[in-house]
Structures are given as structure tokens and as C-alpha cells.
């Protein structure tokens, strides 16, 4: 019996020795080897240059205006194109940033290739699979739109118009051949007035902003005051300052009454 116990203990001791792991202690003076690997080179660096950057998700026209109004005003300062016109064209041509050309090619103005040497995308328009310009970012598209208008002689008449005269800018764009749609001017004007895009022209021009009277009529245009109206909200709606609105209506203070008629435009 004693023999069996001794043999069993000896077997357990041998197994425990065989399963013990070796521990290697690194000396403090031993140098650490660092392996540096080079980042793999890209086969074609030009591909990245024409790949659109990720744009914010736009869910409405109001969001589109909020995202791009500053760029439009910056372009107005640099190139003299009304921010209202730039934004209205962007909204119309890109479907408020949700159309295929804008989503896949950052093309917000429907500008076709012409003499373009950069990236391209093909899309059905007046004809099937026409060539359109592809940009690295939306901001690049806005800049190219400015250069497209300023560098072509057929758009020269635009720059003789007042920068607050968005109606005639819209009409002249159609006459110069920017779009084939006969209702193109009306669509731009409707967008500008619906979303009050002319306010951005006024922000850029400041005291140089001039109200342009309608050519079609010599009559005064009036606004009927409704609940919630203030002189400020009415002045913004019609592209006036509060002082201009007060002067037109000989108002001494900011008091309004529901049903009151205010002159908001007079030739």
C-alpha cells in the first residue's frame, strides 16, 4: 500500500514539472527593437482628388439654405453674383442638395462638362447620359459656378445689373442660355421670395442695398397686418429695414393693429 502511494505522488510531481511555463526576464539594458513599416502607396493619387467629400444630410430646403448661405455670401463678396441667385439656383438644380448630381458628384448647379478636364459623371438631362462636372466638395462647386458665370462673355450683361435686382438676374440667366426651361426665371424668383433669400444680398451689401421696383406696375404694394406681425418681420419679408418701412407709412412708433394696411413697395 505504501508503495502505491509513493508511486502516485511521484507521478503527480513529474506532471506538474512538465506543465510549468518558462518565464524570460528581459534585462533593463537590453535594447528594444522597433520595426517601422511604410504606409502603402496609393496606386492613383488623382482618384482621391475627384472623390466627393461626405456632405451633411439635407432633409429640407430650409436646411440647405442654412448649410450653404455663408458660402453663397462669400461668393457674392468675391464675384458679385447675388447670394439669392446662387442659393436659388443651387436649390433648383440640386433638388436642395438631394439630387443625384449633388449627392454623387457635389454638382449643385447642373454644370455640364464643356471644356472640363476634371472628374466626370454621366446623367440623363436634355439628352441621355450627358457629361456633367464632378467636384471634390460642395464648396468647390459653388466656386466653379461663380467662375463659370464671370468667365463667359455671354453672361456679361448680368454684371451690369444691380446686385439687389434678383428678378432681372433670373431673367438674364435664361436669356444667356443657362437653362432651356422657359419658366426658369419664374422658378428662381419664386424660391427667392418664398424663402426670403434676398435677405442675404442685403447682408452683404449693407447700406448699398437698393430696392428694385417692379417694372410691370406703378402701383403701391401693400401688406395687411395679421396676428403675430411686427415691423421687423414685415420688413424682412419685403427686403426693407424697419426705418424704411416706418418712413413709407409715416409711422412714429412700432405699434401695429390687425387689419392695418402697410405700404411695402412704392415706385
Residue 200: Cβ within 10 Å count:
22
Question: DSSP character for 265?
Answer: E
Task: Let me know: does 83 contact 201? Beta carbons within 8 Å.
Answer: yes
Question: DSSP character for 27?
Answer: P
pLDDT higher than 50, residue 45: no
Question: Any idea where the domains of the chain sit in the sequence?
Answer: 47-208, 221-265
Compute CA 208 distance to the chain's CA centroid, rounded to the nearest angstrom: 26
Residue 131 host element (H or E): strand 130-133
The whole-number pLDDT of residue 5 equals: 53
Q: How far apart are CA 148 and CA 27, in angstroms?
A: 69
- Residue-wise pLDDT tens digits, 97-136: 999 999 999 999 999 998 899 999 999 887 899 999 999 9
- DSSP character string of 2-18: HHHHHHHHHHHHHHHHH
The whole-number pLDDT of residue 9 equals: 54
Task: Let me know: does 155 contact 176? Beta carbons within 8 Å.
Answer: yes
- Residue-wise pLDDT tens digits, 212-267: 866 544 456 888 889 899 999 999 888 889 999 998 888 988 999 888 989 887 65
Distances (CA, A) of 118 to 13, 46, 124, 156, 158: 77, 10, 19, 25, 27
For 173-183, what is the mean pLDDT? 93
Q: How far apart are CA 158 and CA 160, in angstroms?
A: 5
Mean pLDDT of the chain: 82
Residue 65 host element (H or E): helix 61-79
Torsions phi, psi for 223 (to 5 deg): -120, 130
In the chain, % of residues over pLDDT 70: 76
The whole-number pLDDT of residue 126 equals: 74
Any idea how long the chain is? Answer: 267
CATH number for the domain running over 47-208: 1.10.530.10
pLDDT band at 34 (very low <50, low <70, confident <90, very high): very low
The whole-number pLDDT of residue 42 equals: 40
The whole-number pLDDT of residue 150 equals: 97
Residue 222 host element (H or E): strand 221-224
Residue 100 host element (H or E): helix 100-105
> Measuring CA to CA, which residue among 73, 106, 103 is closest to residue 87?
73
State the fold for domain 221-265. Membrane-bound Lytic Murein Transglycosylase D; Chain A (3.10.350)
Q: Higher-confidence residue: 202 or 42? A: 202
The whole-number pLDDT of residue 166 equals: 96
For 152-179, what is the mean pLDDT? 95
pLDDT higher than 70, residue 164: yes
Dihedral over Cα of 162, 165, 168, 170: its sign = positive
Amino acid at each position: 500500500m505504501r508503495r502505491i502511494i509513493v508511486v502516485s505522488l511521484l507521478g503527480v510531481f513529474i506532471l506538474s514539472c512538465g506543465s510549468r511555463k518558462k518565464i524570460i526576464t528581459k534585462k533593463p539594458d537590453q535594447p528594444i527593437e522597433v520595426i517601422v513599416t511604410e504606409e502603402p502607396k496609393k496606386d492613383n493619387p488623382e482618384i482621391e482628388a475627384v472623390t466627393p467629400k461626405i456632405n451633411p444630410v439635407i432633409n429640407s430646403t430650409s436646411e440647405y439654405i442654412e448649410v450653404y448661405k455663408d458660402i453663397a455670401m462669400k461668393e457674392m463678396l468675391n464675384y458679385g453674383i447675388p447670394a439669392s441667385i446662387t442659393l436659388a439656383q443651387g436649390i433648383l438644380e440640386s433638388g436642395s442638395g438631394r439630387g443625384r448630381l449633388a449627392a454623387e458628384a457635389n454638382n449643385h448647379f447642373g454644370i455640364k462638362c464643356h471644356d472640363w478636364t476634371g472628374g466626370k459623371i454621366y446623367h440623363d438631362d436634355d439628352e441621355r447620359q450627358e457629361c456633367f462636372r464632378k467636384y471634390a466638395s460642395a464648396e468647390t462647386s459653388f466656386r466653379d459656378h461663380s467662375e463659370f458665370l464671370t468667365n463667359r462673355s455671354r453672361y456679361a450683361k448680368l454684371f451690369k445689373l444691380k446686385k439687389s435686382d434678383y428678378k432681372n438676374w433670373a431673367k438674364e440667366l435664361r436669356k444667356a442660355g443657362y437653362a432651356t426651361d422657359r419658366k426658369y426665371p419664374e422658378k428662381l424668383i419664386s424660391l427667392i421670395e418664398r424663402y426670403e433669400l434676398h435677405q442675404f444680398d442685403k447682408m452683404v451689401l449693407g447700406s448699398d442695398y437698393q430696392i428694385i421696383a417692379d417694372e410691370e406696375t406703378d402701383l403701391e404694394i401693400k401688406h395687411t397686418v395679421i396676428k403675430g406681425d411686427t415691423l421687423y418681420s414685415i420688413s424682412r419679408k419685403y427686403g426693407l429695414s424697419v426705418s424704411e418701412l416706418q418712413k413709407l407709412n409715416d409711422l412714429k412708433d412700432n405699434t401695429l393693429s390687425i387689419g392695418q394696411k402697410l405700404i411695402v413697395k412704392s415706385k
